[in-house]
Structure 1
């Protein structure tokens, strides 16, 4: 080795030779470090995704790049732009009022308008658009969680009293501060953690985003993790993907079992590594309303000293009352013959570190209110943002927002006080009974369809077991009967999230569903909004990129006056 170095360095001095050798050693070390770290990343990715999924993802990536290059060719680009222009016109036609008689308010009026004028103009705008869904008839999946006309009056009174309040200034609005603290305290007790901690947020997405941010900061401070990863069921809410995107966290999406619709625990276990900051489970998930095995996930989280967030945004004020309402066992929609208890999902499960609960769903609070809860106050501190050096003074906020509407907090507090435990128990009873009636009707009387898994609470998702019936076309037929349901992907399915508004017309839903299945079977068209959107996103490799552009066009249109 020394002979080679001497021959290579020639007439260089001893000091120069040593420096050269030292430099070469550093380069070698850097090379091996690069190879090692990237090999480790690849190994972890392979463990989390598996060989088949990794190869599939790589193939899709290559195909996407080839198609992206092809789409940039002049002829193809022109064709795509033409189709996108047509889609844009169609979307704008659906959302933006057209015609010479449309009155648009694009700048401030020279003089302020009267209360009477404003009321009349609002009525005129409602009439002008002409397509607002009459949600009061109950043919809407979720979206509106109505607590009744009496609840409306309670909320309006709270809004009127606290319409200018802002919890950013607790010294000015002490009652709002007290109400917010009591909302969190009531939810913590409902989820069996009276000594825990939490904050209110603007909705389920912010609750989830805040929980992810909290675990990222905790893992960095306590474990020194600088390249965080989290493990999320494929059925979990898209807000987790959003949080991963915002906070630069690698997300491993784990498949769910095709029958139980629960996350694959073996894949979760295999995906855990030294950079994992948290696991995720749903109770219940949005797509098909099933619950993940929270006790088993909790055991994994505890074993590896990582977080476990349970998303109860949709389960909210139903899941905590499930057993007391008489629905402590799973429904047997899969005809397994087994009677299983719905597992624990709250802070009684060791390993659960945070839970999100939407008060504006089955809590009947005004829209824009949710709660994120933590096992202890020490963990919650990682959610806070504090800037002690700002010129305006020490800036400290508990969540994303600075100023927040105190009226929403007052409305939420009022709704919870008005309902009480007995009220929420009664609503959970009727809502779950409604959902299970739909599930059993599909299982026992509509052989062309089947229920996805054994959803224990308020959501029922159904797919087609017959090649003669396109379930998304069934969804279109239901739309023509006035129902507004959700189309799903992987597998193609349709779901309904039952609310108090659904309860009185559950028999109508079942009858309409039977008729829609017959119609889709006897007169299949292969067309319709659900079929079109689903096919565009998955029928080819071009689909997802085009869907992305269509979604962007849709968002742009929301702000087109």
Structure 2
């Protein structure tokens, strides 16, 4: 009986104790702190969306997010998923046919030959592979892609490759000449970009690696110096996709800032609002890939200096054009190490430097920054290990080729090619501006020109019309446009391009239904799909096909 009375009493005592704890001042303080932290978290997200990106973009993002949620739930319905899978399968088959139809009837090799081929047989196979159907790049009908410095230079690069085919800069004691050529190549580009006496750098495999290395450097540096464990970088929405890749690889939060709809330069005020205590770097382009526009590097440099953060200038595409604009008599803008606040610059020697593919230079203002790029391991069982970038072993032959290109071209050679390329770009730009249905994106100063169409015309239809005339130019999105990276090969084809462009537009004006080609179909469909994971599935399938033997 006593036991039955004690249970309710114990329960009442526990209830009383619980109420006292819940009503205590200390717990109230803890609850308030938790509430403030939650409020701070969501306020930060709201601030980033509305005040940094702008209310219009925030509304667009909200609608886009809502569509994604609805579409994701719809994909769970078996009949809808089956239809999506069927369409994806059809698209993949079309891509496969387009890719493999160019190969003709060549023999396929999916395993080592039982007996090695003779040198003559290997060369015969190489000749067949070289003769596969491809776009007319030699005729100057392909945007960018092939940065050709002439047949004589190509022969020189091939000879440099032959001489140093077995060289590896990982072993400077074995290949001292490669060490010398790499150091001199970096020094020459540093000088071209007006680096201070403290300037330094390394060679990488291309612009993507140069950019990825810079992002990794600032992440590690400010983790060490400022204790930042949740790093962020603030970049223009037009920045190269390599920054997105670096964010994914190194767990850096990336905040993209919209550009001015007229100038296509990044909104500096919005970028300033996006900088937080966790920001380790900002970036700008000179020039950017999509539209060939140089951001306001001076203003961005002031931002970086004010907040004591890294500032990377992506000159991978501007490379050997931007440094020679002023000497060539063309309009330019400050972009190099003479701008206060600039702490690193990437420059591709394999673009307008005409070196063989696989070489780029990443430059820093101080060695104290560059050291955070290195990978160092003092206790590895294989010995003390150190490498300057992602790769361990690297092809010394490409370093030799890069050095040979720089030495062969010289300042006078690069000045001359700058003049010819910019003249060709201006000729194309003038032609585009003479067509009422088209308009230039921003005011390009480098080798790139991008153009869109008025509302009455689909710019992708224009691109498809040009494709039927043998032109291979790049489509852009957000907003829709076409892009040309003018190379030396375009110097002799610029006039023909303008003529074909006018004819293509005239055809669409007289017969609007004559468009509807593959580019218009692909990008039109991509723009209408709220869940971009489907587009990414198609892109992944395309990469899969590249490795199908």
TM-score, scaled relative to structure 2 = 0.92
Which residue of 1 is the match for residue 174 of structure 2?
A: 172
1:346 aligns with 2:326: no
Give the length in aligned residue pairs: 534
Work out whether residues 44 and 273 of structure 1, in 8 Å CA contact, stay in contact via their aligned partners in 2: no
Could you tell which deviates more after superposition, 134-143 or 516-525?
A: 516-525
Q: Report how far residue 373 of structure 1 moved.
A: 0.5
Q: Report how far residue 72 of structure 1 moved.
A: 2.1
Work out whether residues 48 and 252 of structure 1, in 8 Å CA contact, stay in contact via their aligned partners in 2: no
The 5-angstrom pairing of residues 203-222 of structure 1 reads 203-222=206-225
Relative distance call for 1:194 and 1:182 in structure 2 (3 A) is farther
1:418 aligns with 2:420: no
Partner SS, residue 535 of structure 1: helix
The 5-angstrom pairing of residues 310-459 of structure 1 reads 310-327=313-330, 329=331, 342-443=332-433, 445-459=434-448
Unpaired segments ≥5 residues, structure 1: 1-6, 330-341
Work out whether residues 136 and 470 of structure 2, in 8 Å CA contact, stay in contact via their aligned partners in 1: no
The 5-angstrom pairing of residues 1-400 of structure 1 reads 24=27, 28=31, 31-32=34-35, 34-35=37-38, 38-39=41-42, 41-42=44-45, 44-46=47-49, 47-96=51-100, 102-127=106-131, 130-195=132-197, 196-327=199-330, 329=331, 342-400=332-390
Relative distance call for 1:101 and 1:536 in structure 2 (3 A) is same
1:510 aligns with 2:510: no
TM-score, scaled relative to structure 1 = 0.90
Unpaired segments ≥5 residues, structure 2: 1-11
Per-residue CA deviations over 1:404-459 (Å, capped at 9, x if unaligned) read: 1011100000000000000000000110111011112222x212211111101111
Could you tell which deviates more after superposition, 273-282 or 19-28?
A: 19-28
Relative distance call for 1:8 and 1:324 in structure 2 (3 A) is farther
Which residue of 2 is the match for residue 538 of structure 1?
A: 527
Per-residue CA deviations over 1:173-207 (Å, capped at 9, x if unaligned) read: 11101111111100100000042011111111111
Partner SS, residue 496 of structure 1: strand
Q: Report how far residue 97 of structure 1 moved.
A: 5.3
CA distance in 2, matches of 1:398, 1:48: 36
Per-residue CA deviations over 1:152-190 (Å, capped at 9, x if unaligned) read: 111011000001111111111111011111111001000
CA distance in 1, matches of 2:339, 2:314: 14
Work out whether residues 185 and 194 of structure 1, in 8 Å CA contact, stay in contact via their aligned partners in 2: no
CA distance in 2, matches of 1:395, 1:320: 36
Could you tell which deviates more after superposition, 385-394 or 356-365?
A: 385-394
CA distance in 2, matches of 1:140, 1:11: 80
Relative distance call for 1:221 and 1:441 in structure 2 (3 A) is same
Which residue of 2 is the match for residue 549 of structure 1?
A: 537
Partner SS, residue 324 of structure 1: helix
RMSD over aligned CA atoms reads 2.3
Partner SS, residue 310 of structure 1: strand
Relative distance call for 1:19 and 1:78 in structure 2 (3 A) is closer
1:499 to 480, 487, 493: 487
Relative distance call for 1:343 and 1:174 in structure 2 (3 A) is same
1:559 aligns with 2:547: yes
Could you tell which deviates more after superposition, 283-292 or 133-142?
A: 133-142
Work out whether residues 163 and 405 of structure 1, in 8 Å CA contact, stay in contact via their aligned partners in 2: yes
Work out whether residues 103 and 133 of structure 2, in 8 Å CA contact, stay in contact via their aligned partners in 1: no
Q: Report how far residue 306 of structure 1 moved.
A: 1.1
CA distance in 1, matches of 2:262, 2:25: 60
CA distance in 2, matches of 1:358, 1:287: 17
Q: Report how far residue 490 of structure 1 moved.
A: 1.9
Partner SS, residue 232 of structure 1: strand
Could you tell which deviates more after superposition, 456-465 or 96-105?
A: 96-105
Q: Report how far residue 250 of structure 1 moved.
A: 1.3
Relative distance call for 1:320 and 1:376 in structure 2 (3 A) is same
